[in-house]
Amino acid sequence: MSVDFSTLERRAVELLPPANDAGKAFHLICTLLKDEVPHYDWVGFYFAVPEQRLLALGPFAGAPTEHTRIPYGRGICGQSAVSEQTFVVPDVNAAENYLSCSAETRAEIVVPVFHNGAFVAEIDIDSHSRDPFSSADEEFLTRLAAAVAPFVRDVFDPQLSP
Ligand code: SME
């Protein structure tokens, strides 16, 4: 699957403030990625609540998920929060610590977002294709994570999280 990630990155970055307020921009980026990348079937942000060691679901595009709060350590997202590393899971059925959002999901990639050196959020993508993610996805999402990082606090304040 050939995707022009550099054009997609430019289009995503153009959505960020001042073009849109940060909350709207994050929603639009999720929708853009889901619509433009054939193997992205669910695209969302999880925000870090370090004091409670949990992740809170933020803007997303795709089917609603029951996983609106994920404790650090649980599932692929929670493991990424603990390790602060990117997780690529080519086959979720073979993953032991995995939280299912949809029976159709075959693969998942989670990329941490850092701001001023602190882990503040994740980009989470589910795919209905098996083993669809390459280093091109990882590099694209890592660059996107850096681009959105300065705006995370405008979308989500962990101090105000219930
Ligand atoms: N599959 C994730 C949970 C979030 S959903 O994919 C939206 C996990 O195992 O952490």
- The pLDDT of residue 1 is above 60: no
pLDDT score of 146 more than 90: yes
Atom of ligand 1 nearest to the CA of 60: 7
Q: Look at the alpha carbons of 55, 56, 59, 61 in this order and tell me if their dihedral is positive or negative.
A: positive
- Is the CB of 95 inside a 6 Å radius of any atom of ligand 1? no
Q: Does residue 61 or residue 103 have the better pLDDT? A: 61
CA of 4 to the centre of ligand 1 (A): 26
Alpha helices in the chain (DSSP H): 5-14, 22-36, 75-83, 135-148, 152-155
Q: What is the mean pLDDT of the chain?
A: 96
The tokens describing 122, both together, are: 């994740």
Domains of the chain by start residue, with CATH: 5-153 (3.30.450.40)
| 35, 43 Cβ separation under 8 angstroms | no
- What's the confidence (pLDDT) of residue 162? 66
Please identify, by atom number, the ligand 1 atom nearest to the C-alpha of residue 105: 6
Task: Say yes or no to pLDDT of 88 above 90.
Answer: yes
pLDDT at 84 over 80: yes
Question: What whole-number distance in Å separates Cα of residue 53 and Cα of residue 74?
Answer: 11
Task: Please tell me the pTM assigned to this model.
Answer: 0.96
Q: For residue 159, what pLDDT is reported?
A: 82
DSSP state of 34: H
Distance 73 CA to ligand 1 centre (A): 12
Ligand 1 atom closest to 126 (CA):
6
Look at residue 161 and tell me whether its pLDDT is greater than 90: no
| Mean of pLDDT values over 118-132 | 97
